Amino acid sequence: MIDRILSNEEIIQLKNYLERYNNIVLTCHLSPDGDAVGSTLGMKHLLETMGKTVHIIAPDMVPRSLLFLPGAKDIIAYSKYAELGNRLIGNSQLIICLDFNTPKRLDNLAPAITESKAKKILIDHHIGAEQFCDLSISYDKMSSTCELVFRAILGMNMYQQVNRKCAECLYAGMMTDTGNFTYNSNDPDIYNIIAMLMKKGINKDRIYSLAINTSSADRLRLIGYSLDSKMEVFEDCGAALIILTKEELARYNYKKGDTESLVNMPLQIPEVYWSVFMREDDEYVKISIRSQGDFAVNTICEKHFNGGGHKNAAGGEFYSTVDEARAEFYKIMEEMKPTDGEENDNK
């Protein structure tokens, strides 16, 4: 038995919306990850078994590593096809927002979604969802939005309608948001859910191999260079920092997704409990932070890097140079230093 998390009221309202409307748009956050792509696609496959017309519009492109998921190639990138996106949003009766908690995460797609007259539903697992939808299903204890979608499906008594394609996509999101079930994954229900998804005929080893364990030679060399020549460890503060400039990225023919999971690697060092990765981009420095234990990095990203996220995995954008971003990192370490008489109990 899997615990009931969603309230009866939420289940009834969700089911009513899904049954009532036929033209549905699904959307997710900028730089969609496995959970964003998996939850929108999983929902799409479910809705299609109900005979609905469904389009997924993402703010930008789906990374190459996720294109193997059934239906991923049909996801419309608003950054490239804004006119088509606007038309589909204009025709939609219902919009489901998955895996983000604020319209800001939609980037240039935000106005089209927030100004649309369609009914809106949010399904998400980030802390502190903003109220911009008619129905908000937000549970920050969930490992992933995909897990929450699956629980919603169970709540609506729709497990029978889950086909292999739907199960594959939901599994992919649960797997990627927990680092293949190595963090944020101690709820026993997760494994009951996996068993139920596997009964739909998915090959979880293949999904792992394609979504996580596939690299180009350039990417492996970039990771090697980053760890060898760029990683700095600040033992006093339990921190690690890796900064990559545009010039360095170009040297290794950087493609989107090539630095995925690099930020996690310094956490393998026992003394390091928070790890920062900064990647120079055209207009800003992209920040990723990961931590272990009670040290919250979403608040750091909110305060210093125009971002947010989860307690142990967060990110943001810093609108200045890499040198200034480094200076900001030093500022954070300075703030962490215990004042006289105070114990530093972060670890």
- Chain positions contacting Mn ion, by CB under 5 A: 35, 99, 145, 177
- Nearest approach, Cβ of 253 to ligand 5GP (angstroms)? 21
Q: Which is nearer to ligand 5GP, 14 or 28 (CB)?
A: 28
Q: Answer whether 113's CB lies under 8 Å from 138's CB.
A: no
315 binds, among Mn ion, ligand 5GP, none (CB under 5 to 8 A by kind): ligand 5GP
Rounded Cα–Cα distance for residues 234 and 299 (Å): 20
Rounded Cα–Cα distance for residues 330 and 325 (Å): 9
Q: Which is nearer to ligand 5GP, 53 or 102 (CB)?
A: 102
Between the alpha carbon of residue 227 and those of residues 20, 130, 251, 262, 314, the distances in Å are 53, 38, 16, 9, 21
- Nearest approach, Cβ of 307 to ligand 5GP (angstroms)? 4
Q: Three-state SS string across 185-253, please?
A: CCCHHHHHHHHHHHCCCCCHHHHHHHHCCCCCHHHHHHHHHHHHHHCEEEHHHCEEEEEECHHHHHHCC
- Report the residue from 88, 316, 325, 328 that binds ligand 5GP according to the rule CB under 6 A: 316
**Cα Rg, the chain, nearest whole Å:** 20
Question: Residue 290 belongs to what H/E stretch?
Answer: strand 285-291
Give the residue at shortest CB distance from ligand 5GP: 315
Q: x/- binding map, residues 265-304, to ligand 5GP, per CB under 6 A? A: -----------------------x----------------
Number of neighbouring beta carbons within 10 Å of residue 73: 9
Phi, psi (rounded to 5 degrees) for 171: -60, -45
CA-CA-CA-CA torsion sign (139, 145, 149, 150): negative
- Report the residue from 309, 312, 328, 329 that binds ligand 5GP according to the rule CB under 6 A: 309
Q: Which is nearer to ligand 5GP, 11 or 262 (CB)?
A: 262
308 binds, among ligand 5GP, Mn ion, none (CB under 5 to 8 A by kind): ligand 5GP
- Nearest approach, Cβ of 115 to Mn ion (angstroms)? 25
Phi, psi (rounded to 5 degrees) for 308: 175, -155
- Report the residue from 314, 325, 329, 332 that binds ligand 5GP according to the rule CB under 6 A: 314
Give the residue at shortest CB distance from Mn ion: 35
Q: By 3-state DSSP, what share of the chain in percent is helix, strand and coil, each rounded to 5?
A: 45, 15, 40
- Nearest approach, Cβ of 2 to Mn ion (angstroms)? 19
313 binds, among Mn ion, ligand 5GP, none (CB under 5 to 8 A by kind): ligand 5GP
Binders of ligand 5GP among residues 205 to 264 (CB under 6 A) are none
Does the footprint of ligand 5GP cover residue 120 (CB under 6 A)?
no
Does the footprint of ligand 5GP cover residue 62 (CB under 6 A)?
no
- Nearest approach, Cβ of 50 to ligand 5GP (angstroms)? 29
- Nearest approach, Cβ of 327 to Mn ion (angstroms)? 30
Q: Which long-range contacts (CB under 8 A, 24 or more apart) does 78-84 make?
A: 78/108, 78/109, 78/112, 79/107, 79/108, 82/108
From 149-157, 223-231, 264-272, 311-319, span contacting ligand 5GP (CB under 6 A):
311-319
Q: Which is nearer to ligand 5GP, 38 or 316 (CB)?
A: 316
Q: Which is nearer to Mn ion, 29 or 223 (CB)?
A: 29
For the chain, what is the largest distance between any 2 Cα atoms, rounded to a whole number of angstroms? 65
**DSSP per residue, 113-157:** HHT--SEEEEEE-SSS--S-SSEEEE-TTSS-HHHHHHHHHHHTT
From 77-85, 90-98, 209-217, 310-318, span contacting ligand 5GP (CB under 6 A):
310-318
Where along the sequence are the contacts to ligand 5GP (CB under 6 A)? 105, 126, 288, 307-310, 313-317
